[in-house]
Every structure is written in C-alpha cells, then in structure tokens.
C-alpha cells in the first residue's frame, strides 16, 4: 500500500504545471506517456528481480540489455 501511495505522489507534481502552461490535450498525453514505465514498475520489478544471470549479476542482467535497446532506438532515430 505504501508503494502505491508513493507512486501516486511522485506523479502529482507535473499536473499543475500542465494545467497552467496552456498545453493541448495531445501534448499532455504525450507528456504523461513518459511516466508510464514508472507507473508500471510495480508490475515488472518483481520479474526483473527474480530473473538474473549468475555470471553477470543482478543489476547487469537488466541494465546491459536496456542500454543496448536504448542505443538501437537512438540509432533508428538518427537515421530517420
């Protein structure tokens, strides 16, 4: 329950900014999509914590693939 409260409180500070800055609904939706991975953290974090490689360790098992994926998306973005 505490985790849910913390997640909700973390996402609240951006709401007044969006309302006072005269952003369109499309811009607000795009801005809110940036917080989606943090909102879903309660769902995917137990899976990430359970599945890891002994050879790489707990943290590197998910950090290395994420960094590779970010690099791939950056390269795709540069080409377009």
Q: Over the stretch 46-63, which tens digit does the pLDDT of each residue have? A: 887 788 888 888 878 888
Question: If DSSP states are collapsed to H, E and C, what string results for the chain?
Answer: CHHHHHHHHHHCCHHHHHHHCCCCHHHHHHHHHCCHHHHCHHHHHHHHHHCCECCCEHHHHHHHHHHHHHHHHHHHHHHC
Q: Over the stretch 2-59, which tens digit does the pLDDT of each residue have? A: 556 565 655 555 555 556 567 777 877 777 777 777 777 788 778 877 888 888 888 7
């Amino acid at each position: 329950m505490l985790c849910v409260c913390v997640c909700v409180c973390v996402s609240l500070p951006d709401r007044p900014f969006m309302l006072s800055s005269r952003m369109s609904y499309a811009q607000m939706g795009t801005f809110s999509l940036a917080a989606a991975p943090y909102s879903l953290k309660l769902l995917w974090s137990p899976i990430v914590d359970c599945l890891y490689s002994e050879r790489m360790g707990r943290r590197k098992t998910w950090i290395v693939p994420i960094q590779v994926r970010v690099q791939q998306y950056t390269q795709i973005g540069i080409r377009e």
